Amino acid sequence: MPAKGKITYICSSCGAKHPKWTGQCNDCGIWNSLSETKIVHSTKSIHDVDQADSVPIDLSSIQVAQIARMSTGSSEFDRVLGGGFVEGAVTLLGGEPGIGKSTLALQCAGSLSVADSVLYTTGEESLQQLALRASRTKIESSNIKIIATSELETVLHVAKSTGPKFVVIDSIQTLFSTEQESAPGSISQVRACADRLVRFAKSTSTAILMIGHITKDGVLAGPKLLEHIVDTVLYFEGDADSRLRLVRAFKNRFGAVNEVGVFVMTDSGLRGVENPSSMLLSSDNTDKPGSVVLVAQEGTRPLLVELQALVDDTVLATPRRLSIGLDGGRISMLLAVLSRHAGVTLGNRDVYVNVAGGIKLSETATDVAIALAVLSSHFNKPLPAGTVCFGEIGLSGEVRPVQRGQERLKEAKKLGFRKAIIPQANQATHGPEKLEVVPIKNVGELLELLH
């Protein structure tokens, strides 16, 4: 006879428990985030706890060894992970449907199977479908064991009996544990399955890659606890209709956060792009009003992207402010700074700003590029060809320095650019040769550059 349980309501955002349903979570304040869950009280423990780990030891007595990493076979994906998968680490990969999560996981499994045994578990595809996708991506290895099941206990049993070094879970939302009475994909199921997988990975030094679904808001489905207990959280970015794909690290205990890997979807799977800047920039080098090349910093990599702006007369009572790939609030702030400190009023004009290539940028070093693109479109005066820029703009109109300024300049020089507009504080005594550096102190000097 199954154990009796009580009904509780758990917030899908923060995991807080509530005795009854309310429209808003009392802890995080999110509306309509509570879901009904039955809590079963069982006398049997569902965790295999090693009692030896409960004995405290001195921190100084622990021998720190070099972290062993397993290369994924892709230099771009290795960059995002910080050098490859770490033994005993759990990685969570999220993204929109059809963007390439399962394809990337299968390619990693194929590369790792050359030297180690791999277990691929799928709850979304049949074995024939998985074999067909492996054939399309040209993956052939006897070291890859595959099972099609959604039962967690079966996955753990097979993993313990075969002893793989790398396990793929496709996906965490399809897994269910027989210890839980809720449906697969529910908050309690996702939390319980993820917790047991993390414990298994740590106790056996097995690297696990979990694929996660995302909601309509673009966040990982399930409790927020899921992102807390794993070691690495990766997100796919980009339009599923485009060939360009980006994988960004939002959390990484063994590498840099915000690191980005650039891929192209081909007929044989995802292929890393060795020089993403050249791919993101337009091949048309002619001067165009409103078009500016920005040297962005994504993780440890300088990345050159094209930023475009269009300023036009409005036919609406309230002018439109639309941005793609950038923070709309920051663009509104920069327009206010241009109005106050540069005398450029855009209150009766529509402003559209776009980052070409589907890249999403969040750093403040985009400010100078946004301002230059808007001014260039407003006055219909292009910047000279071969010009790059970067810098942060403060509310008083000053141009502030940004991190890794010299690395950005070296990347621009390597790609053949001849002129760089940068904050004065980022100007070095000895910059890259054959690269003209134009230091600026305030937004008023941006107007002088155009005139």
Q: Kindly list the domain boundaries of the chain, sorted by start residue.
A: 5-40, 68-274, 279-450
- Is 273 in a helix, a strand, or coil? coil
- Give the Cα-Cα-Cα angle 175, 151, 210 (nearest 5 degrees): 35
- Amino acid identity of residue 175, one-letter, is L
- For the chain, list residues with pLDDT below 50: 1-3, 43-44, 46-47, 49, 52
Instruction: Tell me whether residue 179 is exposed, middle or buried, using C-beta atoms within 10 angstroms of its C-beta: 0 to 12, 13 to 18, 19 or more.
Output: middle
Q: Phi and psi of 445, rounded to 5°?
A: -70, -20
CB neighbours (10 Å) of residue 374?
Answer: 27
DSSP character string of 81-140: HTSSEETT-EEEEE--TTSSHHHHHHHHHHHHTTTS-EEEEESSS-HHHHHHHHHHTT--
CA pseudo-torsion sign 109, 110, 112, 113: positive
Q: Which single residue is written with the structure tokens 């439109």?
A: 320
pTM: 0.80
Which one is the CATH code of 68-274: 3.20.20.80, 3.30.70.920, 3.40.50.11810, 3.40.50.300?
A: 3.40.50.300
- Whether domain 279-450 has CATH 3.90.209.20: the reply is no
